[in-house]
């Protein structure tokens, strides 16, 4: 290796040589001090809502005109979240670039109204893979590669690279799990090193802890929280802000104990108690002054745009006001899947329906139905009281026949229906069997040797996508059929971009048969024989829609997804038909009055 190449490697890797132990990787373009960091850590137990707190704090700082970018760091050795069982880790959230991530990335996207990328998510598996690749290419200049400084150095490089790529004022760093987890040890150490290297007013550490409230005692207990905070300080980090999770508001006495034990001023010990919706948390933080405290700690007051904040706050407050309004109407929507015992497995569907609830002013009662228990004999008992049905995505044959029965019930009884990914495929199988008379119709995912594979992995897809048997992942454009119901839902757009996560497609040789029988494929991939949207005509069914995509992933609080919004509106029409008819009649009468204004009466003597 010549001297020029060696110097170039030193510049990119840091300054760890035989003459020094410092290892401070600065990616090209990184300006020290330009980007600040807010680090959110958990104590006592996981699942406290670090993502909700972090994304809410990021939102109120973004409202001030600051550019923010989050990153979730997970300690597991998986490269991504794609192979994780929903029962263990909740839903897999797919980003536009195809990265399969933790469900907290969905919280960030919804709260910040931004599309994130793979740079906003990392795992121990990614960190170690990059280190081993560098070691094999000799990029550590003969040094023995160690947890410190090289693994911690790779974490620092990842954070700084995100700062460069996003041009952020603040990078929000959420460490999964708790400080006491073994796999998080090097993340915590890397953050300590980052704070040391970046200097004063560069890193703000937020510790999320849990205040217990045993029913048998009838009072709040803070001892577990104190011990958890001790672990943070033993790791070399002094918290600047402490968020106390508790079912009810944390009392002053407990906040004082936490403040004294952790050396954190009382004004920075915050009660993050349960509220009706996560969308109430940003204003809760703002009223507690957390945004001002962070700006002070990081020296960012001079970057605030007050006019932008006023406008953003008014917009959000209007949404919150609608969220909290009493709902005069209620509809019941069934979500029929096989992971329904854990709501986090369908978190994005839950949130998409909440967005629609606010938009329509209607309370949505979600019935979670396990399709492994559904069959032709009992499907009516489970679904007769529902005003709409969703069949969500999933993998594997378990519960599949129950999903097909749910599709059939929705189609034959004119119940509004939305099929998502596997729900789209099951709608094709059901229609092929019961309308087209193709008795052996199935998917090769469940029966590789089925006689009528209406759903299959297409050879054309393998060639076009270059992914072999892997899934089509991430954002894809969908060409919409002009005049279709789905096109109208998207304001007559010619195309729409949605996110996908699937392997199996409609077999092209069955398309003509299915469409001749009345099934319309109203969306397809550009220049590819891949059907991505289906519907039944509104003349034969009030709302029957399916998509290979996961539209719930791109639904936002201020912009509900059109397919979900169409479903909810159809459910309201089913639940309150007389009111809907009266409203339509009233609108028609008003239009008639506009068209033919009353003539003035002439008095006759």
How do residues 376-435 score in pLDDT, each as one tens digit? Answer: 999 999 999 999 999 998 888 888 899 999 999 999 999 999 999 999 999 999 999 999
What's the pTM value of the predicted model, to 2 decimals?
0.90
How do residues 490-519 score in pLDDT, each as one tens digit? Answer: 999 999 999 999 889 999 999 999 999 999
Query: Is the omega angle on the peptide bond into residue 550 within 30 degrees of 0, that is, cis?
Result: no
Closest of 499, 505, 512 to residue 464, by C-alpha: 505
Specify the higher pLDDT residue, 471 or 155. 155
% of the chain beyond a pLDDT of 70: 90
Mean pLDDT over 446-457 rounds to: 92
How do residues 461-498 score in pLDDT, each as one tens digit? Answer: 555 444 444 678 999 999 999 999 999 999 999 999 99
Kindly report which listed range (69-78, 149-158, 393-402) carries the lowest average pLDDT score.
393-402
Specify the higher pLDDT residue, 278 or 216. 278
- Confidence at 605, pLDDT banded by 50, 70, 90: very low
Res 4 pLDDT > 70: no
Mean pLDDT over 197-218 rounds to: 92
Specify the higher pLDDT residue, 573 or 457. 573
- Looking at residue 92, its pLDDT comes to 93
- Confidence at 215, pLDDT banded by 50, 70, 90: confident
Res 592 pLDDT > 60: no
Beta-carbon contacts of residue 408 (< 8 Å; ≥ 6 apart): 379, 430, 434
Res 5 pLDDT > 80: no
- Looking at residue 2, its pLDDT comes to 47
Res 599 pLDDT > 70: no
Res 1 pLDDT > 50: no
- Looking at residue 598, its pLDDT comes to 47
Res 163 pLDDT > 50: yes
DSSP states of 111-138 = HHT----GGGEEEHHHHHHHHHHHHHTT
Length of the chain equals 605
- Confidence at 581, pLDDT banded by 50, 70, 90: low
- Looking at residue 85, its pLDDT comes to 81
Q: Which CATH architecture has domain 37-319?
A: 3-Layer(aba) Sandwich (3.40)
- Looking at residue 528, its pLDDT comes to 82
* Exposed/middle/buried for residue 530 (C-beta within 10 Å: 0-12, 13-18, 19+): buried
Mean pLDDT over 95-124 rounds to: 95
Instruction: Give the whole-angstrom CA distance, residue 174 versus residue 183.
Output: 14
- Do 141 and 134 form a contact (C-beta atoms < 8 A)? no
- Looking at residue 309, its pLDDT comes to 95
DSSP states of 302-357 = GG--HHHHHHHHHHHHHHHHHHHSPPSEEEEEEEEES-TTSGGGGHHHHHHHHHHH
Helices (H), 199-240: 223-234
Mean pLDDT over 367-381 rounds to: 93
Res 452 pLDDT > 70: yes
Beta-carbon contacts of residue 478 (< 8 Å; ≥ 6 apart): 495, 496, 497, 498, 523, 524, 525, 532, 533, 549
Closest of 444, 561, 446 to residue 507, by C-alpha: 444
Res 594 pLDDT > 60: no
Question: Domains of the chain: which residue ranges?
Answer: 37-319, 325-455+507-522+529-575
- Looking at residue 344, its pLDDT comes to 85
Instruction: Compute the mean pLDDT over every residue in the chain, rounded to the nearest whole number.
Output: 89
Instruction: Report the chain's terminal Cα–Cα distance, integer Å.
Output: 114
- Confidence at 50, pLDDT banded by 50, 70, 90: very high
Tell me, yes or no, if the two domains 37-319 and 325-455+507-522+529-575 fold the same way: yes
Q: What are the backbone dihedrals phi and psi of residue 419, each rounded to the nearest 5 degrees, phi first? A: -105, 130
Q: Which two tokens stand for residue 99?
A: 């990265």
% of the chain beyond a pLDDT of 90: 77
Res 83 pLDDT > 90: no
- Confidence at 86, pLDDT banded by 50, 70, 90: confident
Mean pLDDT over 144-171 rounds to: 95
Cα four-point dihedral sign 312, 317, 320, 322:
negative
CATH topology of domain 325-455+507-522+529-575: Rossmann fold (3.40.50)
Mean pLDDT over 158-182 rounds to: 95
- Do 311 and 62 form a contact (C-beta atoms < 8 A)? no
How do residues 6-17 score in pLDDT, each as one tens digit? Answer: 444 445 555 555
């Amino acid at each position: 290796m010549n001297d020029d190449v060696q110097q170039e490697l030193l510049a990119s890797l840091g300054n760890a040589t035989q003459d020094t132990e410092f290892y401070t990787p600065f990616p090209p373009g990184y300006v020290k001090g330009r980007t600040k960091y807010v680090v959110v850590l958990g104590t006592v137990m996981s699942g406290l809502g670090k993502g909700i707190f972090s994304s809410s704090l990021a939102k109120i700082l973004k409202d001030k005109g600051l550019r923010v970018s989050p990153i979730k760091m997970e300690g597991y050795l998986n490269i991504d979240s794609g192979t994780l069982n929903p029962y263990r880790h909740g839903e897999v959230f797919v980003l536009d670039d195809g990265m399969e991530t933790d469900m907290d990335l969905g919280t960030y996207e919804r709260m910040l109204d931004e599309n994130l990328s793979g740079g906003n998510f990392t795992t121990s598996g990614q960190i170690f893979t990059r280190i081993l690749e560098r070691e094999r290419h000799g990029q550590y200049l003969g040094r023995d590669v160690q947890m410190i400084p090289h693994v911690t150095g790779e974490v620092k490089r990842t954070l700084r690279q995100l700062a460069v790529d996003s041009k952020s004022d603040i990078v929000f760093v959420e460490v999964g799990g708790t400080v006491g987890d073994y796999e998080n040890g090097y993340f915590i150490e890397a953050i300590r090193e980052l704070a040391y290297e970046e200097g004063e007013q560069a890193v703000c550490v937020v510790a999320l802890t849990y205040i217990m409230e045993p029913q048998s005692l009838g009072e709040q207990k803070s001892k577990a929280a104190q011990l958890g905070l001790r672990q943070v300080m033993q790791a070399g980090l002094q918290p600047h802000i402490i968020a106390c999770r508790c079912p009810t508001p944390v009392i002053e006495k407990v906040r004082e104990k936490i403040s004294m034990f952790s050396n954190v001023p009382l004004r920075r010990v915050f009660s993050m108690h349960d509220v009706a919706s996560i969308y109430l948390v940003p204003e809760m933080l703002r009223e507690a002054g957390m945004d001002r405290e962070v700006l002070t700690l990081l020296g960012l007051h001079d970057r605030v745009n007050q006019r932008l904040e006023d406008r953003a706050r008014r917009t959000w407050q209007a949404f919150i006001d609608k969220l909290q309004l009493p709902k005069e109407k209620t509809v019941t929507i069934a979500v029929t899947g096989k992971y329904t015992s854990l709501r986090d497995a369908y978190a994005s569907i839950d949130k998409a329906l909440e967005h629609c609830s606010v938009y329509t002013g209607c309370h949505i009662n979600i019935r979670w139905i396990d399709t492994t228990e559904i069959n032709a004999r009992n499907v009516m008992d489970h679904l007769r009281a529902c005003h709409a049905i969703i069949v969500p995505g999933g993998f594997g044959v378990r519960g599949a026949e129950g999903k097909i029965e749910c599709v059939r019930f929705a189609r034959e009884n004119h119940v509004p229906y939305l099929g998502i990914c596997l729900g789209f495929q099951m709608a094709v199988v059901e229609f092929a069997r019961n309308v087209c008379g193709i008795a052996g119709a199935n998917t090769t995912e469940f029966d590789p040797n089925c006689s009528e594979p209406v759903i299959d992995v297409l050879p054309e897809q393998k060639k076009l996508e270059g992914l072999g048997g892997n899934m089509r992942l991430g954002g894809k454009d969908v060409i919409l059929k002009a005049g279709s119901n789905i096109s109208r839902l998207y304001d007559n757009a010619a195309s729409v971009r949605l996110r996908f996560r699937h392997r199996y497609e409609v077999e092209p040789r069955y398309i003509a048969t299915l469409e001749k029988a009345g099934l319309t494929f109203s969306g397809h991939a550009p220049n590819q024989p891949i059907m991505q949207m289906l519907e039944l005509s509104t003349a034969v069914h009030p709302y029957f829609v399916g998509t290979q995509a996961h539209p719930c992933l791109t639904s936002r609080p201020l912009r509900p997804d059109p397919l979900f919004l169409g479903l909810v509106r159809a459910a309201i029409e089913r639940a309150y038909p007389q009111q809907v008819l009266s409203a339509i009649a009233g609108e028609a009468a008003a239009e008639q009055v506009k068209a033919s204004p009353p003539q003035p009466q002439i008095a006759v003597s």
